[in-house]
Amino acid sequence: MRHRRTHNASETTLQLPRHDTINFADRSKKTKQSRRVQYLPAWILLAVIAWMLFPNFVAGSVRIVSKIAVDTVPSVVVDTANIVGDGAELAYDGGSAVGGVVVDGVAIAANAIADVPVIVGGLFASSAPEGDSTIAPLFTQSVNYWEADIARWSQAYNLDPNLLATVMQIESCGHPTVSSHAGAQGLFQVMPFHFSREEDQLDPDTNAMRGANFLNQCLRYANGDVGLALACYNGGPSVVTRSPALWDQQVRDYYQWGTGIYADTLTNQSRSETLDRWLAAGGDRLCRSAALTLGIE
């Protein structure tokens, strides 16, 4: 502390340090921001409760905007897959085979899918039909290999066999030991967290059970809308609550493949142009490896 002499030499005064002026407006602003952060968990909790109480309203709102957004999908990509356990060797587009086959993704131009039907809000899944549970004749040979099992699984899990076959077609093409780089496993490319610790993820029945259970969940989230359910199966339940304009490209691609193929099964077509495009985009290599593994080539 410093001293300062006044004109009166007999008096000594103390010069105290001067405090800065308090900015009350700034303090008020910070207080409001603090309150917003403080109440954020409560708003999140209310949003979760609203979703649980009114899922139909949220899903219905998504349908209103979904058709326009999905119509603008620019390209189609076949996801990468690592085929293991069969000793086959097939590599292309820079892929490498280590103990199996690596199938790299292949992109094709937007005009290749320009006429794929868009069916959000209009295509709904039926449950497993009584009696005849055959699948449409359009599927590849390696998927038809599982026809009897698909019929059995569709009855067990109350799903349309053609929908199960569609998912198998674009997930694994019937290859029972396929594994993606993301860790998805088996015929229905189910992520490991869906399995219990003691379950064999590549066992066809176990894989089908977990895949079918998740597909049924997605159908409930999507109120039976197949397009949204397929997007959910690929990208997780959160995609059902988002506009398709905000979906990842992989989810959009999956939606296009799935709805196009499934729509053709409903009229029992013997050939699907959408499936042909999927094969040309790289799926054919996966299917040939599946056929080799199954011993049908």
- pLDDT per residue over 13-36, tens digit each? 445 454 444 455 555 555 566 666
Is residue 62 in a domain?
A: yes
Residue 99 has pLDDT above 50, yes or no: no
Is residue 37 in a domain?
A: no
pLDDT in tens, 210-257: 999 999 999 999 999 999 999 999 999 999 999 999 999 999 999 999
Is residue 44 in a domain?
A: no
Could you tell me how far CA 49 lies from the centroid of its own chain?
A: 23
Pairing relationship of beta strands 3-5 and 12-14 according to DSSP bridges: antiparallel
Higher-confidence residue of 128 and 39: namely 39
**Any idea what the Cα angle at residue 167 is, between residues 249 and 64, rounded to 5°?**
55
What is the domain range of residue 162? Answer: 55-294
Give the integer Cα–Cα distance in Å for 125 and 30.
Answer: 52
Is residue 254 in a domain?
A: yes
What's the mean pLDDT when you consider all of the chain?
72
pLDDT of residue 54: 53
pLDDT of residue 34: 65
Q: E strand or H helix at 266, and its extent?
A: helix 249-266
- Count structural domains, the chain: 1
* Listed range (84-98, 142-156, 244-258, 269-283) with the worst mean pLDDT: 84-98
Is residue 122 in a domain?
A: yes
Is residue 209 in a domain?
A: yes
Give the integer Cα–Cα distance in Å for 228 and 118.
Answer: 11
Is residue 8 in a domain?
A: no
Q: Which CATH number does the domain housing residue 182 bear?
A: 1.10.530.10
pLDDT of residue 181: 83
Give the integer Cα–Cα distance in Å for 248 and 231.
Answer: 10
Is residue 42 in a domain?
A: no
CA distances to 35, 172, 218 from 238, rounded to whole Å, are: 28, 23, 10
Give the residue-averaged pLDDT of 154-164. Answer: 96
Percent of the chain with pLDDT over 70: 58
